[in-house]
Amino acid sequence: MMPRTMIRSALRAFSKTSGACAIAGILSTAAHGQNAFSPAVYVNDSAVTHFEIEQRARLLVIMSAPGDPLELAREQLIEDRLKLQAARQAGIFPSEDGVVAGLENFAKRVNMKPEEMLQALSAEGISEESLRDFIASQIAWGGVVQTRFGANAQISEEEIDRAIAQNSGQGGVRVLLSEIIIPVTPQTRSQVDSLAAQISDLSSFSEFEAAARIYSASGTKENGGHVDWMNVTNLPAPLRPVITGLRSGEVTPPLQLPNSVALFQLRGIAESGRTTPRYSAIDYAKFYIPGGRSEDSLKEAAKIRSTIDKCDDLFGVGFGLPVERLFRETQKPNEISRDVAIELAKLDDNEISTNLTTADGQNLIVLMLCSRTAEINDAELSREDVAQSLRNLRLESYANSYLSQLRAQARIIEK
């Protein structure tokens, strides 16, 4: 993960009250009743200390990473241990030159010299060693992924042609998918990752349908996870080459969503001469119903679905209710969270999905697509850039699947 905003800007904002409170909260939580250098987690007998978690959490706050910084730090460091262990088994060790180059690249991306960046981070209590560890794990894992999967990530000319067409609106590509969406919590992460890795190896339509009926939390579970035909440009951009790279019957690697894991099986793909646009903005609304996926909540959602015709009608539904029950926003496709983007991809204008809940499961989300805004004046795409992007995405899919397997097989003991 790299910073989404400049560290310099983040540090300026961070020095204000909200940032200071965030760090104070991290320190008080991390330090309460425990030795900073005592183990917090064991990953195959390799310890992650409370100090390491606190340091990574500080870095994540600076990087404006979403979610609870302490929880995310713990998860990242567990994965870092697994990555480094896999690298050692493969005989891959980050060199000092590689780490220094990583520091320079990191600094360059935030418009700083390395020494300036390290001083800025030090002022926020983040040690150079913590950043070096962060970079070293990325380098080691990159070596593992290239060694194990590099030969399998070659991109054909046909795939490049299809990617250019689907991203520029030249011609149309439609896909017929089945889906499995499995809810996940920190307590069930290991079991869900193991199950998802097994499902990703399926190639039978009937076996995938059976798994959907048993494990999926999506509204499509009753019909075996079947999703209607959709334009591939409706899907989040990173998911498009993963889907179009499948053969009929193949299943994607497990895709990590904010509070679930998703898998998709390709049932069909079709091309036509009709132009399929790319989209610059998506207008959508979310109405929250307390009670999660309870019978009463689902009945209320069904009533809303039957009584409204367009997004504006939701304001009538929300009239007199707390303002936080209804959100409507217009975002660029790459700004929308992946779980919401995947649901929106299945919808036409003014259609509704009730497949999602909030991360804590306490509220059912009535998600409604209001409209999509098509892009104009697409720049010509470089075949080399497209090929590299496809290769990177394919490697990322292999890497995520392999990491899920490593985690499922690991002994992880929380202290």
Nearest Cα to Cα of residue 108 among 19, 214, 7: 7
Q: Is residue 1 part of a domain?
A: no
- Of 87, 116, 150, which residue is a domain's last? 150
Out of 97, 123, 150, a domain closes at: 150
> Residue 159's pLDDT is what?
73
- Is residue 34 in some structural domain? yes
Phi, psi of 367 (to 5 degrees): -100, 125
Per-residue pLDDT, 166: 57
Q: Do both 185 and 257 map to the same domain?
A: yes
175 shares a domain with 81: no
Number of domains in the chain: 3
Residue 20 sits in the same domain as residue 130? yes
Containing structural domain, residue 301? 279-374
Based on the fold, state whether residues 237 and 305 are members of the same structural domain: no
Report the chain (415 residues): mean pLDDT per 10 consecutive residues: 42 38 48 73 93 92 76 92 95 92 84 88 91 93 92 79 59 84 83 89 93 92 92 82 85 85 92 66 94 91 92 90 90 88 91 86 91 64 73 82 88 88
Residue 13 belongs to a domain with what CATH number? 1.10.4030.10
Matching residue, tokens 């302490």: 70
- Whole-angstrom distance, CA of residue 391 vs CA of residue 388: 5
Q: Indicate the pairing of strand 255-257 with strand 46-49.
A: unpaired
Q: Does residue 21 sit in the same domain as residue 123?
A: yes
22 and 118 part of one domain: yes
Whether residue 15 is found in the same domain as residue 116: yes
Query: Is 254 among the domain residues?
Result: yes
What pLDDT, on a 0 to 100 scale, did the predictor assign at position 335? 87
User: For residue 89, what pLDDT is reported?
Assistant: 94
CB neighbours of 148 closer than 8 A, spacing ≥ 6?
A: 90, 398, 402
Question: CA–CA separation, 157 vs 279, rounded Å?
Answer: 25
pLDDT (0 to 100) of residue 165: 60
* CATH assignment at residue 341: 3.10.50.40
Q: What pLDDT was estimated at residue 236?
A: 84
Q: Is the same domain home to 269 and 322?
A: no
Cβ within 8 Å of residue 353, ≥6 positions away: 219, 343, 344, 346, 347, 366, 367, 368
